[in-house]
Amino acid sequence: MFPQADQSSDTYEDCKATADWLLAQSAVRPSVGIVCGSGLGGLAAALKDQVAFDYKDVPNFPQSTGERRPRPRRPEPGRRLALGAVHGHAGRLVFGTLRGRSCVCMQGRFHLYEGYSVQKVTLPMRIFKLLGVDTVILTNAAGALNQDFKVGDIMILKDHINLPGLSGNHPLVGLNDERFGVRFPCMSDAYERELQQLALDVGQELGFGDFLKEGVYSVLGGPSFETVAESRMLAKLGADAVGMSTVHEVTVARHCGMRVFALSLITNRAVMDYDSPEKANHEEVLVVAKQRAEQVERLICTMVARMERRHNNNDDDDHDDHHDD
């Protein structure tokens, strides 16, 4: 039987109430939304004139859970549950400017393995839309399935395989609110090709060409890492990397009409051989993320700056055309 959509939350009115509350607390009107993956939360530190909110203080917002905490239960009216953060996820929403462009940054995201419904996991994307965000940048830590990939590579997502979604655990299951998007959104263009090319161009300029790749990302529910048989299956399906996030957020962001760019930091190689002594572990993920975090941050910061310049150039072109008339 397919999972049931969480209809008790995630409504347009709930999302709007949260967005209105955030807009009342900050003068920033973000056009870019950034989601930081495991160990990559330092990107939020690059924002200037910051206004930050702990997830627990934001109305209707989910919170990252600690490993020892059981499945979240609904709090009593007027009472919030105190939750610990998943190691590597800070649990803050940060508003500010990045290279002159207004942004909102999630330091830590939400996962199916924390016990939340896929609708709750993707709630921040709907709030982003109502905040005025038009472009979403997502990062994650992933395991390499492609044997040509190395630990420390940065993979630009060009497509994904949504295994939970194909089996019915999909963020758009249930009633569709046309104020967010259409009933049957297209996913063949889920990742903005212009932003992919911008990332490749910026990466070459920064000298990242040797470790900048493109590929297909496959999402699983977690929290266990993949078996050898599962890794082999995913590779045969055409996946280059595997992780436990991002795809659900991408789906909802595209449903809401936002442009999407996503990248994976390859922090480990999926075990594909029964005789291999390697074992995937979360500590290794965080170590590699820390080592490569500076390059990821430089890539995204430069992309945001370039996006701003392109936008301004377009505005200038429009102005010139109008003047010629």
pLDDT attached to residue 319: 40
Domain 12-269+280-324: assigned CATH number: 3.40.50.1580
CB within 8 A of 95, min separation 6: which ones? Answer: 22, 26, 28, 30, 47, 50, 51, 52, 102, 103, 104, 105
Mind listing the pLDDT tens digit for each residue in 213-249? 999 999 999 999 999 999 999 999 999 999 999 999 9
pLDDT digits (tens, 9 = 90+) for 245-266: 999 999 999 999 999 999 999 9
- In this predicted model, what pLDDT tens digit does every residue of 151-177 receive, in sequence order? 999 999 999 999 999 999 999 999 999
Overall pTM surpassing 0.75 (yes/no): yes
Catalytic annotation, residues? 38, 89, 111, 113-114, 141, 244-245, 268, 282
Q: What is the DSSP-derived secondary structure letter of residue 167? A: T
State residue 321's pLDDT score.
41
pLDDT digits (tens, 9 = 90+) for 35-80: 998 778 888 888 999 999 999 999 999 876 543 333 333 333 333 2
DSSP string, 79-124: -----PPPTT---EEEEEEETTEEEEEEES---GGGT--HHHHTHH
For residue 70, the model assigns a pLDDT of 34
Using one digit for the tens of pLDDT, what is the confidence trace for 77-136?
333 222 334 454 479 999 999 999 999 999 999 999 999 999 999 999 999 999 999 999
Nearest 5 degrees, angle CA 12-CA 217-CA 130? 20
For residue 14, give the amino acid letter: D
Q: Where are the domains of the chain?
A: 12-269+280-324
Grade residue 277 by pLDDT with cuts at 50, 70 and 90.
confident
pLDDT for res 316: 43
- The rounded distance, in Å, linking the Cα atoms of 309 and 313 is 6
> Is the C-alpha dihedral spanning 52, 26, 122, 174 positive or negative?
positive
Structure confidence at residue 21 (pLDDT) = 97
pLDDT at 80 (0 to 100): 29
Give residue 70's identity as a one-letter amino acid code: P
Phi, psi of 280 (to 5 degrees): -70, 140
CB atoms inside a 10 Å sphere around CB 323:
7
